[in-house]
Homo-oligomer: A and B are copies of this chain.
């Protein structure tokens, strides 16, 4: 059978997170691994009511095929909602996708030939790495600083790739509370990133799954809204703001780019479920989405604070141990002393009944062995405290073992 495999699938690996999710399903494990939203944030009473009503009264419509672009009712609702946040996107600039992972798939299909270059963060979202890898892109990682991607390094890497004769396609960024680092890109850097993209004629793929889950600081304008050339393609998923099980997102793009994306979407899955689109559309129409977002942001703030408190309380005061303190989103990012391998350490953590995502999987340069991602979204505040306590024990033992090894060798 393997001789029939495409070259793209021979180059793709199973995801580490995916195998982890299986472990994390065991009830005795406190899992900080998968980026699962807290199910208590899903507006289920409202959805139950809307679903019954729409299926009963509008079944001829909602159970039928949708257009490839998506339901006009839904896109109109999204357009209005985005406008409140300073993002101008007409219905024609909105393509409904089967969640944002599909958005990444469509971007690759529309723009990426094998060996084309995509620049991305070090670290960056694992699912994006998987999509880019499947389409055989050359992924060049750019280190992150406290205010986002290091743009000096980006410019150097662009120059080096050009000199290497590569076809450069775009830059993939998650400006707000990045996955996995929790880092937010400053306005200044967003503006400069756009300037670089203009000068170098690159596209920007702006992924925004968490932007509406801000719990401190002021919102920063999206790169999409700074752009007047149609150079930025933006992904806005409802997986975290409404419910992951909807598999619903939108993709903002203009002109020819939108035309290409619609064509590849059609060959990919014809259309996204109209029932699902209508659930979200009616919710946005009838309820105060802004209040819902404010409420779930408070939930995640409490959980983040519980995690930071626990980290401060339990983690050893060792050189090289530090973590981010994000203004939103679902993740805290953590560095351990050089020499610790968080992939190897995971076995011990699982034994101690706590799980996380080893950072190496989120680094396209093979680095990040001493880093890890902690999702604070799913566990209760009590479990966050206990889970971090367990993790700190594992970390302490790991450091002690490394020190012994150091003496022994």
Contact = CB atoms under 8 A, between A and B. Distances in A.
A171 interface: no
Interface in A2-61: 2, 4-9, 12-15, 18, 21, 34, 36-37, 39-40, 42, 44-45, 47-49, 51-53, 55-56, 59-61
Interface stretch (A108-116, A158-166, A334-342, A380-388): A108-116
B9 A255 contact: no
Interface string A65-103: 111100000000000000000000000000000110110
A62 interface: yes
Looking at A108, A246, A266, the one whose CB has the most chain B CB atoms below 10 A away is A266
B268 A105 contact: yes
A134 B109 contact: yes
B36 A65 contact: yes
Contact of A134 (B39, B133, B267, B274): B267
B39 A264 contact: no
A203 interface: yes
Contact of A268 (B14, B36, B101, B244): B101
Contacts of A44: 55-56, 59, 63
Given A102-B268, A130-B266, A244 B42 contact: no
Interface in A263-277: 263-264, 266-276
Contacts of A101: 267-270
B264 A246 contact: no
A1 to B, nearest CB: 4
Contacts of A266: 14-15, 18, 130
Q: Number of contact residues on A: which range applies?
A: 35 or more
A103 B169 CA distance: 28
A6 B243 contact: no
A64 interface: yes
Contact of A36 (B55, B64, B230): B64
Given A12-B267, A268-B102, A63 B243 contact: yes
A272 B101 CA distance: 11
A245 B65 contact: yes
Looking at A5, A101, A268, the one whose CB has the most chain B CB atoms below 10 A away is A268
Contact of A110 (B6, B68, B116, B257): B6
A127 interface: yes
A355 interface: no
A348 B111 CA distance: 38
The 4 closest A-B CB pairs, nearest first, are: A44-B59, A63-B243, A52-B52, A51-B51
11 contacts: A5-B111, A6-B116, A9-B110, A42-B59, A45-B56, A65-B239, A66-B245, A131-B268, A246-B275, A247-B271, A275-B276
